[in-house]
A and B are shown apart, each in its own frame.
Chain A
Amino acid sequence: MKTLFQTFRLKQLRYRHDPFSLAIWLLVTLATLATVAILLLLVGYILVKGVPNIHLSLFALEYNSENVSLLPALINTLMVILLTLTIAGPLGVFSALYLSEYANRSNRFVGWIRLATETLAGIPSIIYGLFGMLFFVTFLHWGYSLLAGSCTLAIMVLPLMMRTTEEALHSVPDAYREGSYALGAGRLRTIFTIVLPAAMPGILAGVILSIGRIVGESAALIYTAGTASQIATGLFSSGRTLSVHMYNISNEGLYISQTYATAVVLLLLVALINWISNFAAGKLTKGS
Chain B
Amino acid sequence: MRRKEQFASYLFLLTACISIAAVILICLFLFANGIPAMREIGLFNFLSGRVWRPSNDLYGILPMILGSIYVTAGALLLGVPLGILTAVYLANFCSRELHRFLKPLIELLAGIPSVVYGFFGLVVLVPFVRQTFGGSGNSILTASLLLGIMILPTIIGISEAALRAVPSSYYEGSLALGASHERSVIFAILPAAKSGILTGVVLGVGRAIGETMAVMMVAGNQTRMPDGILKGIRTLTSNIAIEMGYAADLHREALIATAVVLFVFILIINVSFSLLKRRSV
A125 touches which one: B108, B209, B212 (CB < 8 A)? Answer: B212
Since A188-B4, A250-B118 are in contact, a sample of 9 more A-B pairs with Cβ atoms closer than 8 Å, ordered by chain A residue number, is A32-B89, A91-B15, A101-B12, A125-B210, A133-B244, A216-B114, A218-B115, A270-B112, A274-B107
Q: Are A263 and B183 in contact (CB under 8 A)?
A: no
Nearest CB of chain B from residue A228's CB, rounded to whole Å: 14
A36 touching B33, Cβ below 8 Å: no
A186 contacts partner chain B, Cβ-Cβ < 8 Å: yes
Is B90 part of the binding interface, using a Cβ–Cβ cutoff of 8 Å? Answer: yes
* A38 CB–B CB distance under 8 Å: yes
Interface residues of A (CB under 8 A from B): 15, 18, 20-22, 24-25, 27-29, 31-32, 34-36, 38-39, 41-43, 45-46, 49, 90-91, 94-95, 97-99, 101-103, 112-113, 115-120, 122-131, 133-135, 139, 155, 158-159, 162, 186-188, 212, 215-219, 222-223, 243-244, 246-247, 250-251, 256, 259, 263, 266-267, 270-271, 273-275, 278
How many A-B residue pairs have C-beta atoms within 8 angstroms? Tell me.
Answer: 240
Chain B residues with Cβ below 8 Å from A118 are 270, 273-274
- Name the one of B29, B111, B181, B274 contacting A273, with C-beta atoms under 8 angstroms: B111
B26 and A29 contacting across the interface, CB-CB below 8 Å:
no
- Please state if B115 and A246 are interface contacts (CB–CB under 8 Å): yes
In Å, the complex CA distance between A158 and B88 comes to 32
Chain B 64-87 interface mask (CB, 8 Å, partner A; 1/0)? 000000000000000001110110
Binary flags per residue of B102-137, CB closer than 8 Å to A gives 1, else 0: 101111110111111111101110000000000000
Cβ-neighbour of A274 out of B104, B206, B211 (below 8 A): B104
> Are A116 and B270 touching (Cβ within 8 A)?
no
Give the residues in chain B near A49, CB-CB below 8 Å: 123
Interface size, B (range) = 35 or more
Contacts of B180 in A (CB 8 A): 15, 18, 21
Is B249 in the interface zone, CB < 8 Å from A?
Answer: no
Residues of B within 8 A of A256 (CB): 123
Contacts known (A39-B105, A126-B210); A116 close to B115, Cβ less than 8 A: no
Q: In B13-65, which residues have CB < 8 Å from any A CB? A: 13, 15-20, 22-23, 25-26, 29-30, 33
* B interface, CB within 8 angstroms of A: 1, 4-5, 8-9, 11-13, 15-20, 22-23, 25-26, 29-30, 33, 81-83, 85-86, 88-90, 93-94, 102, 104-109, 111-120, 122-124, 149, 152, 156, 180-183, 185-186, 206, 209-213, 217, 237, 240-241, 244-245, 255-256, 259, 262-263, 266-267, 269-270, 273-274
State in angstroms the CA–CA spacing of A129 and B85 once bound together.
Answer: 35
Q: Nearest 8 A-B pairs (CB), nearest first?
A: A124-B210, A31-B85, A216-B113, A98-B12, A21-B182, A94-B15, A219-B212, A98-B16
Say yes or no: A218 contacts B93, CB within 8 Å.
no
Expressed in whole angstroms, the Cα–Cα distance for A93 and B206 within the complex equals 26
Q: Are A266 and B115 CB-contacts (below 8 A) given A122-B206, A130-B244? A: yes
Given contacts A28-B86, A36-B102, is CB(A187)–CB(B5) below 8 Å? yes
**Chain A, interface SS category:** helix
Asked if B263 contacts A123 (CB within 8 A), the reply is: yes
Check A247/B213 contact, CB under 8 A, given A21-B182, A42-B120.
Answer: yes
Structural contact, A215 and B113, CB atoms closer than 8 A: yes
Contact A139 B12 (CB under 8 A): no
Cβ–Cβ < 8 Å partners of A222 in chain B: 241, 245
Pair B213/A130 contact, Cβ less than 8 Å: no
Query: Chain B nearest CB: distance from A49 CB in Å?
Result: 8
Chain B residues contacting A212 (CB-CB under 8 Å) are 111
> What would be 30 A-B contacts, judged by CB atoms less than 8 Å apart?
A18-B183, A27-B85, A32-B102, A35-B106, A36-B105, A42-B149, A95-B15, A99-B16, A116-B20, A122-B273, A123-B210, A125-B212, A127-B26, A127-B210, A129-B241, A130-B255, A133-B244, A134-B256, A139-B29, A159-B19, A162-B19, A187-B5, A216-B112, A216-B115, A217-B113, A219-B212, A250-B115, A250-B118, A270-B113, A274-B108
Alpha-carbon distance between A99 and B181 when the two chains are bound, in angstroms: 43
- Whether the pair B116, A32 counts as a contact (CB closer than 8 A) is no
Contact A130 B186 (CB under 8 A): no
In the bound complex, do residue A35 and residue B86 qualify as a contact, i.e. CB atoms below 8 Å apart? Answer: yes
Least CB separation from B18: chain A residue = A91
Complex-state Cα separation, A31 to B160, whole angstroms: 14
- Is B22 a contact of A95 with CB atoms below 8 Å? no
Residues of A within 8 A of B209 (CB): 124
In angstroms, Cα B181 to Cα A223, docked, is 53
Q: Tell me, in angstroms, the Cα distance from A37 to B181 when the chains sit together.
A: 26
- Contact yes or no, B19 A116, CB < 8 A: yes
Bound-state CA distance A91–B12 (Å) is 9
Tell me whether B241 and A126 are in contact (CB under 8 A). yes
Alpha-carbon separation in the docked complex, A244 to B114 (Å): 10
Beta-carbon contact of A134 and B33 below 8 Å: yes
Q: How far is the CA of A101 from the CA of B262 in the complex (A)?
A: 36
